[in-house]
Amino acid sequence: MPDIIGVQFRENGKAYYFDPGELQVEKGATVVVENAQGIDCGTCVAANHPLPESFNRPLKRVIRLATPDDIRRLETNRKKEEEAFDICLEKIKKHGLEMKLVSVEYAFDGGKILFYFTADGRVDFRELVKDLASVFKTRIELRQVGVRDEAKMLGGLGICGREFCCTRFMNDFQPVTIKMAKEQNLSLNPTKISGTCGRLMCCLGYEEEAYEQLNRITPRPGSAVNTPRGKGVVQEANLLTGKVKVRLDDAPDALPETFDRADLTPGERRPRREREEPQPAPEE
């Protein structure tokens, strides 16, 4: 079975698989590879390992381990990206475009410069591309990205005080929904469950599977249950500790008692109270 390696082209970017051929590539090594855009240079993040049986896509090959000249070219490209960023900012201002430049990426061979930007809507940047092409004398590509991608590229600290998850270790964004916050009994205040990017925090999905399981085995508030002390109605439930507060039918005016969810069984469903129709006032 042939070997494969994982290669990243940007720090904390998505890892792609390549065929190393006869090369033994250690994790952390810099390699020159052939990809859909041509020749590129990246860092090995997964050393030689067998190709999974489920993997059936064709693989591009590793050309060589990076030479000192390749490393110098990478460093030169990084410096050029900083210069290109400043020049593009000036051109955006000159053309009066409503767009925010996020990042610049030079192709390894210098044959293309990719500018990432965000904008509220569609932007006609055709004149900007012509202007940039006249300056850099190479192929220019502008790519609009979302606010989550912007946060990943720029980095920063979240409300937890730690570096953004998307910048530190996440390769791909997973769907996050408001339903996850509800199932975890979190405040639905947007400022508390939204990240710096303005979207729902990615970490809401980390424990979603565990909360789904806990919700399945924990009685919900308002449900009827049987307790060791009789029948009652759930007033409050703590999913993590498994403690459930129940108001007993025999003591409706007393404070709810706390039970472990393992000691409770579902009670009989209680019929809803029929709404009483107002009686007409007696005629005088």
pLDDT tens sequence across 149-177:
889 888 888 888 898 988 888 877 889 99
Query: Are 72-145 and 218-266 equal in CATH topology?
Result: no
Helices (H) and strands (E) in the chain, counts: 7, 13
In whole angstroms, what separates CA 30 from the centre of its chain? 27
Task: State yes or no: pLDDT of 276 exceeds 50.
Answer: no
**Is 2.30.30 the CATH number for 218-266?**
yes
Nearest to 230 by CA among 249, 252, 255: 249
Confidence tier at 213 by pLDDT (50, 70, 90): very high
Task: State yes or no: pLDDT of 275 exceeds 50.
Answer: no
Q: Where are the domains of the chain?
A: 3-66, 72-145, 151-205, 218-266
For the record, the structure tokens of 282 come out as 């007696």
Alpha-carbon distance of 152 to 104, in angstroms, equals 14
Output the pLDDT for position 1: 56
pLDDT digits (tens, 9 = 90+) for 127-147: 999 999 999 999 999 999 999
Output the pLDDT for position 247: 93
Output the pLDDT for position 160: 87
Find out whether 163 and 156 touch, Cβ atoms under 8 Å: yes
Alpha-carbon distance of 105 to 117, in angstroms, equals 12
DSSP annotation of 194: B
For the record, the structure tokens of 257 come out as 């008692």
Place of tokens 């919900």: 220
- Chain mean pLDDT for the chain: 87
E strand or H helix at 260: strand 257-260
Alpha-carbon distance of 268 to 265, in angstroms, equals 10
CATH class name, domain 72-145: alpha beta
Place of tokens 């940039």: 132
Alpha-carbon distance of 210 to 76, in angstroms, equals 47
Helix axes 68-95, 126-136, angle to 10 degrees: 140
Q: What are phi and psi of 250, to 5 degrees?
A: -75, -10
Task: State yes or no: pLDDT of 284 exceeds 50.
Answer: no
**H-type alpha helices, the chain:** 68-95, 126-136, 147-154, 165-168, 178-183, 190-193, 208-217
pTM: 0.72
Q: What is the mean pLDDT of residues 234-245?
A: 93
Task: Classify 131 in phi/psi space as left (phi over 0), alpha (psi -120 to 50) or beta.
Answer: alpha
Q: How many residues does the structure list for the chain?
A: 284
CA distances from residue 49 to 65, 80, 144, 159, 171 in whole angstroms, order as listed: 17, 35, 35, 38, 20
Output the pLDDT for position 216: 92
43 vs 283, which has greater pLDDT?
43
Give the Cα-Cα-Cα angle 110, 112, 115 (nearest 5 degrees): 120
